[in-house]
Amino acid sequence: MRTAVLHIEGAKSEAIEVARNRLIVPVFLFIFGFSLLVARLVSIAIFEDISDQIIQVHSAKVEIVRERVDILDRNGTVMATNLPAPSLAVRPRLIADPEETADGIMAVLPNLNRDQVLNKLKSSRHFLYIRRNLSPKQVWKINALGFPGLVLEQAEKRVYPQGKLASHVLGYVDVDNKPQAGVEKFFDDHLSNPMRSDDPLHLSLDLRVQHIVRQELKFAMDRFSAKGAAGIVMDVETGEILAMTSLPDFDGNGSIDPSTPEMKNRNTLEPYEMGSGFKTFTLAMALDSGAIKVTDEFDATRPLKVGRRTIHDDHAKKRHLSVPEVYTYSSNIGASLIIRQVGVDYQKAYLERFGMFDKPVIELTGRSRPILPRRWGEIQSMTVSYGHGIAVTPLHLVTGIAAVVNGGRLIPATLIRKDKDQDNISYGLPEYSNVEDYPQVISAETSRKMRHLMRLAVEYGSGSNARVEGYRVGGKTGTAEKVINGSYSRENKITSFVGVFPMDNPKYVIFAMLDEPQGIEETFYRATGGWTAAPVVGQIISRIGPMLGVEPNADVETKYQNLILVNAKSN
């Protein structure tokens, strides 16, 4: 018995010793590894500066690649951007139970047509879209359904945070983010380039000015029950467009029908007879060519008969008129007599230099050519002199007026911000490094004279409703009968006013136009440009002048006042 007990105790002792030896190895390895970790931490703490590494981690730039580049206004406000918008699609061949799957989809997206959804689920095609632009909540619910064959495809949606504001400039894209109009289409190579995701397109538009122009035009459009309206603000020294509005407008965020009237940009795609605004070009070319002098007079005592046509003055003075009076009182007779001295050939040559024979120059695809007289004889030359028989877009008029007042240089309109601190891309449009390189369409001296005449038209003529306290505003009204069914209609008119300020050192051209405005009691039921469009420009100037840093200063001499009899001012 004794021997057996000792044997058992010896065996147990040996087993314990083996187990102890086996534990020593992992314990040693653990202690060794832990020691290495401690040593490394001590080394980092003592010998290495990790601040740079931490800074790099926190300041690392995360590059987001979007399908389309952002569009910003000149001040950096977002006008167009992309947001995540997953789409729900289906692989019909993987659908086990179309009826059950359709019920699940309808529970999440009740606005869909169940029959159409079911047809797609039963289709023999490989892949079909069911709904685009899902919200995060809808994505979560679709995922929760757990039906095989349903595909949530990652995509982006183009959004326009400003809604209708500047919609005709921006244009829009279709459901596949393909551009259909506006700068979206013109600059597609830039906007669709993923390498430019961090290089937004800066437009020349100032959304503050854009908002004011749209607001004032909408107010006037409603007040005079007009069918539509258009407005532009342009920098005369750079050609930059600060605002371009066409009413009615559209919202690029919603469903769009390209055939509807509100899709048309009246500023570039719709030629109009501009009426007396064209007298600005008539007098500018007459003075510049030397055909007349400012002190000349013309007989407007009675209507002017030319062949079978008789030319009348809307506000007849029935006397001889000086050149400043012809412009200030908007005499059709006087303009006709002046252009007779200029001649048809000179008139056509000057208008061509002003860009009136070609499409307007701007970074938009929708642009229309002017409508010119089929036959351009003496009578056509006379009617063109006061803006009838020739139709141009508002942008033609604004660009031409800018050249008249800026010293005579024809600077193309642009929707791209001109910034000396950034590289500008011409995109195929005329681009010069110096103002002196742009075409000189009239002399600087003629430009100076025209500035005084435009100032007189506001001070004493039909543009008096565009006056703004403290600002030197100049401009010209325009009223033209629309052509309805092949003949002119006295009831349906296009009224406009093109203004410039400040006249002693022109900075901006402001244009406003109303389509078929109706007279109201406050205007004595008159609906001419002086009563309907001129006040719009005055209101715009009063609001944007301080915003754009134009200091009020009314104490500036206006010449040629001595050549005007001011006893019969009219609108």
The full DSSP string for 113-135 is: -HHHHHHHHT-SSS-EEEE-S--
pLDDT tens for each residue of the chain, 571 residues long: 455 554 545 555 665 665 666 667 666 666 766 676 666 666 655 655 444 443 333 434 444 556 799 999 999 999 999 998 888 999 999 998 999 999 999 999 999 999 999 999 999 899 999 998 888 899 999 999 989 889 998 888 999 999 999 999 999 999 888 999 999 999 999 999 878 878 899 999 999 999 999 999 999 999 999 999 999 999 999 999 999 999 999 999 988 888 898 999 999 999 999 999 999 999 999 999 999 999 999 999 999 998 888 999 988 899 999 999 999 999 999 999 999 999 999 999 999 999 999 999 999 998 999 999 999 999 999 999 999 999 999 999 999 999 999 999 999 999 999 875 445 455 555 566 666 789 999 999 999 999 999 999 999 999 999 999 989 999 999 999 888 877 788 788 999 999 999 998 999 999 999 999 999 999 999 999 999 999 999 999 999 999 999 988 766 667 888 888 764 444 4
Helix and strand element counts for the chain (H, E): 18, 16
Q: What is the pLDDT of residue 569?
A: 41
Q: What is the pLDDT of residue 570?
A: 42
CA distances from 280 to 274, 406, 451, 455, 513 (A): 11, 14, 10, 12, 17
Residue in 276, 322, 331, 447 annotated catalytic? 276
Contact by Cβ (8 Å): 451, 402? no
Q: What is the pLDDT of residue 58?
A: 40
Closest CA to 511 of 219, 209, 230, 164: 230
Q: Phi and psi of 400, rounded to 5°? A: -65, -45
* Stretch (H or E) spanning 191: helix 188-191
Beta bridge partners of 321: 298
Sign of CA dihedral 332, 334, 336, 338: negative
The domain limits of the chain are 2-59, 71-202, 210-249+265-419+430-563
Residue 447 known to be catalytic:
no
- Dist CA 462 CA 138 (whole Å): 60
0.75 surpassed by pTM: yes
CA angle 485, 486, 489 (to 5 degrees): 75
Q: What is the pLDDT of residue 29?
A: 66
The CATH homologous superfamily of the domain defined by 71-202: Penicillin-binding protein 2a (Domain 2) (3.90.1310.10)
Q: What is the pLDDT of residue 565?
A: 75
Q: Specify the CATH class of 210-249+265-419+430-563 in words.
A: alpha beta
Closest CA to 184 of 207, 165, 201: 201
What the block records as the tokens of 364 is 């938009």
